[in-house]
Amino acid sequence: MSDPFDLPDLAVRTQGGAVVAANDEFFAGKENLVLPGPARARDDFGARGKEYDGWETRRRREPGHDWAVVRLGMPGVVHAVVVDTAFFLGNYPPRASLEGASVEGHPPASALADVDWAPLLPLSDLAGGTANRFTVEPGPRVTHVRLSIHPDGGVARLRVHGEVVPDPRLLDAGPCDLAALENGGRVTGVSNAFYGSPHQLIGRGEARSMGEGWENARRRDDGNDWVEVTLGCEGTVTLAELDTSWFLGNAPGAASLTGTTADGTEVELLPVTPLQPDTRHRFRLPGDAAVTAVRVDVLPDGGMARLRLWGRPTEAGRAALQQRWEATARG
């Protein structure tokens, strides 16, 4: 996936992102910035005026600008940013900038004012009612971003697309999901994603509806659909979960798992196996092959809520994680 806007959103609420501070949210709450899905039009008026699905500050009568700080759900390297001003037409900020910081642990919002903020997006022009898209020169990994709007106004959504860089120390605790987004797994290929993003397949938690999984269009030929996931690092997979929860009349009839080793050799992890609708399938795997990627083939088509590939990093995989962690500390 070469388009940086196809990379996962590091800030979205469903992946653990949260807006932890803002200097003003008089007209609309800061938490809306990282909600999943597009903003919706609202026609209601409240005690403070028209209501918006976004973050909106009051009109400034003094010099300065407004800001909001987002704790990323998945720390990583930022490649692209979307500052979406949907439905903000006469009240959008004319310009915005974004900074990033990397902070150890879980600091309170009050401690973030004094951290070392580095520029990610320079002060840039915005249009109203528009998903303003910007590519970002990759730099050091960040755990927080600060959106500054100049001088004031409303923003519906903030999307921060990038590569996840997991803390390798967290993967040392025991078996982990090597495919999970938060552990550095990423979708690197998909046959079809007509109804749902394949990134959701390896997202956090359980799907709350069919819309939070991966689903392809109906096949009208003799082939089958598939998705390829590059693991967070090389590892041995000993337990696979293929979860078809919520998919009732559109679950795959069967599925298989094929691993790819560091030298490009393909190895069978799970042969073609029947699947049931609306079921969390769990399969023990031999765990005798170190793999760097896994392809899920669904036959012939259909949707899946979650994919989990539990295992342990190899020695080489753990070393690569550490190298990536240290390299992205410097940018």
**Each residue's pLDDT tens digit, 73-83:** 999 999 999 99
Phi, psi of 24 (to 5 degrees): -160, 140
Whether residues 129 and 27 fall in one domain: yes
| 245 and 305 Cβ atoms separated by less than 8 Å | yes
Digit-coded pLDDT (tens) for 252-271 = 999 999 999 999 999 999 99
For residue 283, give the 3-state DSSP assignment. Answer: strand
221: Cβ contacts below 8 Å, ≥ 6 apart: none
137 pLDDT more than 90: yes
Rounded to an integer, what distance in angstroms lies between the CA atom of residue 87 and that of residue 130? 8
Predicted pLDDT at 331: 62
Rounded to 10 degrees, what is the CA torsion of 193, 212, 165, 122?
Answer: 80
Digit-coded pLDDT (tens) for 2-56 = 899 999 999 999 999 999 999 999 999 999 999 999 999 888 877 777 788 999 9
Provide the pLDDT confidence category of residue 290 given band limits of 50, 70 and 90.
very high
Sign of CA dihedral 313, 316, 318, 324: negative
Provide the pLDDT confidence category of residue 136 given band limits of 50, 70 and 90.
very high
Whether residues 133 and 212 fall in one domain: no
Task: Write down which residue in 164, 184, 218 finishes a domain.
Answer: 164
Rounded to an integer, what distance in angstroms lies between the CA atom of residue 163 and that of residue 13? 17
Give 46-73 as a DSSP string.
Answer: ETTEE--SSEEPPPP-SS--EEEEEEEE
Give 193-220 as a DSSP string.
Answer: -SSB-GGGGG-SS--SSGGGSEEPPPP-
Whether residues 8 and 152 fall in one domain: yes
Predicted pLDDT at 94: 98
The owner of tokens 């003003």 is 24
Whether residues 235 and 219 fall in one domain: yes
| Backbone φ/ψ region at 83: left (φ over 0), alpha (ψ -120 to 50), beta | beta
Q: Work out how many domains the chain is built from and give that number.
A: 2
In a domain, 330, yes or no: no
Q: What is the CATH number of the domain that holds 262?
A: 2.60.120.260
Digit-coded pLDDT (tens) for 53-73 = 999 999 999 999 999 999 999
Digit-coded pLDDT (tens) for 118-130 = 999 999 999 999 9
In a domain, 324, yes or no: no
| 237 and 306 Cβ atoms separated by less than 8 Å | no
Digit-coded pLDDT (tens) for 197-251 = 889 999 999 999 999 999 999 999 999 999 999 999 999 999 999 999 999 999 9
Whether residues 180 and 159 fall in one domain: no
Tokens of 170: 């967290």
In a domain, 325, yes or no: no
In a domain, 326, yes or no: no
Rounded to an integer, what distance in angstroms lies between the CA atom of residue 20 and that of residue 60? 22
Structural domain that includes position 15: 4-164
Whether residues 50 and 138 fall in one domain: yes
Task: Write down which residue in 97, 132, 164 finishes a domain.
Answer: 164
Predicted pLDDT at 194: 87
Provide the pLDDT confidence category of residue 292 given band limits of 50, 70 and 90.
very high
Rounded to an integer, what distance in angstroms lies between the CA atom of residue 304 and that of residue 301? 10
Predicted pLDDT at 48: 76
Digit-coded pLDDT (tens) for 160-207 = 999 999 999 999 988 999 999 999 999 999 999 988 888 999 999 999
Task: Write down which residue in 164, 195, 228 finishes a domain.
Answer: 164
Tokens of 245: 């929860």
Tokens of 232: 């967070």
